[in-house]
Chains A and B, each alone.
Chain A
């Protein structure tokens, strides 16, 4: 397999990497860049634990070839806070106890963040719909939905 030089912008920082055609973006993020907030869950696009934002939109890093991410802007959970200041949705997850084991949390937070960018005033139904692919096996979702709801413009 011919290796490829790629350049991706991860959390605002340009990274140059050499990857094989069958390297997955998830493994490059976790192993080469040591950003282990992005989780390996099912590996087949069912659970969304590996969600990252690509050009601001949620995508699943376990199904993306790293070589195909060349030139893209990627945000992982490590890049959401502004220095020590958490993004509003991150703080809301803490305030509402929307975390138990924490495995789904990075994907859940990133997907919620994208929803709020797209739709600053989502209803409960819209939140549940947007997050329907992000599986959480602990919380029962109620606290997660409440956390996202608290970030809606009308509740600020």
Chain B
């Protein structure tokens, strides 16, 4: 099929709520509403002929009450329509959630990050979404609102498959809530791409909490290796409570490589992904450990 990306071929009515309450009412009132934030995924999908039913396009980017970053009761709270470029440069994020900032800085182009929002990246629910591994290891909770009220789900519960999540037709994501990591916690994010602005061939986030020379809590998330971003629980288990050294990092990285079942696609192959997973997880663990205050691990 010939695709003409000069135009938007899909027809729809346009809605622009100014408040969260107004948006929720519109979602309840109309059928086949698509929530539009930055448009950097949705507009492209619609232009290139994706099978998306949209009768009403609801632009949520003008809802100022959903555009914020704040620290409250040791929780970092990010409004769903906060632009990615705002998050990457924010002091609270850089202090408490540095790998979220690193992951965003590694995404796409500045113009795309000025348009795209954190809520949009999550709701697009791509297996390669770069904000997802950091938010997974930071144990972020997502606040979903509907006319009936709100509910809270973890990132892992939220995303169910490629482009799929638990949002009901009349619900929207309104806030990302992340507990500020404890003292002596370090994290790292690594992604592999062909050129810098690319979508990840593979990405990983690792978080390690240290007590003296032991890791008491470890979370490892991998992107682009399954239908959604996944945690590798057996690897996390192998690290928990252990003295951290090169051996342990290599052992955990090998478990990750053995556990994942990636596929061949446009961006990479299953074979490469399994190989490189081992390398980037080992590297990410070394960085996370050093950032937690642990001793530098040399090869």
Contact = CB atoms under 8 A, between A and B. Distances in A.
B190 to A, nearest CB: 17
B108 A133 contact: yes
B196 to A, nearest CB: 5
Given A1-B11, A22-B11, A133-B108, A44 B39 contact: no
A62 to B, nearest CB: 7
Nearest to A128: B196
Contacts of A62: 5
A65 interface: yes
Interface residues of A, number: 35
Contacts of B211: none
Interface stretch (B43-51, B143-151, B260-268): B43-51
Contact of A45 (B4, B40, B85): B40
B110 A63 contact: no
A42 B5 contact: yes
Contacts of B112: 45, 60, 133
A18 to B, nearest CB: 13
A134 B44 CA distance: 18
Interface stretch (A51-59, A80-88, A96-104, A137-145): A51-59
Contacts of B61: 68
Given A44-B48, A59-B115, A21 B7 contact: no
Contact of B14 (A21, A24, A40, A60): A21
Contacts of A155: none
A90 interface: no
Contacts of A64: 39, 43, 115
B71 interface: no
A22 B109 contact: no
Interface residues of B, number: 33
Q: Main SS of the interface on chain B?
A: loop
A24 B111 contact: no
Nearest to B8: A22
A132 B196 contact: yes
B111 A48 contact: yes
A79 interface: no
Contacts of B196: 129, 132
A21 B109 contact: no
Nearest to A20: B11
Contacts of B10: 22
A130 B110 contact: yes
B114 interface: yes
> Considering residues B4, B43, B108, which has the most beta carbons from chain A within 10 angstroms of its beta carbon?
B43
A1 B114 contact: no
Given A21-B13, A44-B44, A48-B111, A65 B5 contact: no
A133 B197 contact: yes
Contacts of B16: 67-68, 70
Contacts of A51: 111
Given A44-B48, A133-B108, A63 B14 contact: no
Contacts of A23: 8
A2 B11 CA distance: 10
> Considering residues B9, B10, B36, B47, which has the most beta carbons from chain A within 10 angstroms of its beta carbon?
B47
A43 B39 contact: no
Interface in B49-63: 57, 59, 61
B6 interface: yes
A76 interface: no
Interface in A11-39: 21-24, 27
B21 to A, nearest CB: 20
B30 interface: no
Contacts of A1: 11-13
Given A2-B13, A21-B13, A68-B16, A58 B8 contact: no
B14 A2 contact: yes
A43 B5 contact: yes
B11 A63 contact: no
B7 A24 contact: yes
6 contacts: A21-B14, A45-B111, A64-B115, A68-B36, A68-B61, A133-B112
Given A45-B40, A65-B43, A132-B109, 6 more contacts: A4-B14, A22-B11, A45-B44, A65-B8, A65-B36, A68-B16
